[in-house]
Amino acid sequence: MEASDTLTFTPDALKGASPAPTFTLRTATTREKRMWRRLLIEEGARTHTIEAIREEMVRGLQAEWDAATCGQHIPMLREYWAAFDEHALQRKDDPDLKWECDPIIEEAVHQLEQQVQRGWRPLAKMRADNLEYGDIAAVAQIAVMIDTFSGIELEAERDGKYLTFDTAEGMREALGVLELRAGSKPGTAFQELYSECALRMFLRASTEKNSASPSPSDTPPLNSNATARGTSTASKAKSAAKTSKR
């Protein structure tokens, strides 16, 4: 795509609205991506790698639980994480590789993660940072990718040629008003708008490189593709979620 190419977009959730909101999306160049990163810094967005999240979880276990409990459950966590990472590598060569984790292990791991998070504030703060980062990143992408818009009650304030962060944030509420009138699910139109901006900024611009938009994620999703085996691990996991602090 040329830098001058634009795309006219209306969220599917509001295509039946009268009038339907319309957004003109610009093509992402190095300048747009640089401005996006600048907005992340200005808004104080912070993100943590999955490795950092995992190590903080281990520290939380060691700080809050006795040595015997840690000795039982930390190896179970590390085995699960290693299986997830190994599968992620395998899936690069085989995208159709399916998830084969024992559901008892998987459920126990996630319950254990939640239990540690409730009792260990540093871990909770890291997870909160990642959630906030995702929200800020979405609004920042809208700010730099949308050139013009119409059909919503919102004044377009700009920082140079780009919409301000507050204007982009205001689109969430403005679209929500239209959704209420149209009987659409609240938040759907904003999500569709962000997704289109993200695709245009990252995926479509890098198709030839077979790369994708960065996404902060701190835990393997329940429907992710990984492999975890072993009945001994299952028995450890089953008791992990029921273990109390010392």
- C-alpha to C-alpha distance for 171 and 159, rounded to whole angstroms: 16
Concatenating the DSSP letter of every residue in 75-110 gives HHHHHHHHHHHHHHHHHHH-TTPPP---HHHHHHHH
Instruction: Tell me the two tokens of residue 134.
Output: 């995702």
Give me the phi and psi of 88, to 5 degrees please. Answer: -60, -40
Residue with tokens 């085995």: 79
Consecutive 10-residue averages of pLDDT for the chain (246 residues): 76 92 95 96 96 96 93 92 92 89 89 92 96 96 97 95 97 95 93 95 59 44 37 43 47
Reported as type and span, the H/E element at residue 8 is: strand 6-9
In 3D space, the residue among 214, 201, 43, 199 whose CA is nearest the CA of residue 136 turns out to be 43
In contact, 143 and 33? CB cutoff 8 Å: no
162 Rama sector, left if φ>0, alpha if ψ -120 to 50, beta otherwise: beta
CB atoms within 10 A of CB 153: 10
With a CB cutoff of 8 Å and minimum separation 6, the contacts of 4 are 27
- Distances, alpha carbon 234 to alpha carbons 69, 76, 221, in Å: 15, 9, 19
pLDDT of residue 36: 96
DSSP designation for 3: T
Neighbouring C-beta atoms of residue 124, cutoff 10 Å: 15
The model's pTM is 0.75
Distance CA 120, CA 43 (A): 26
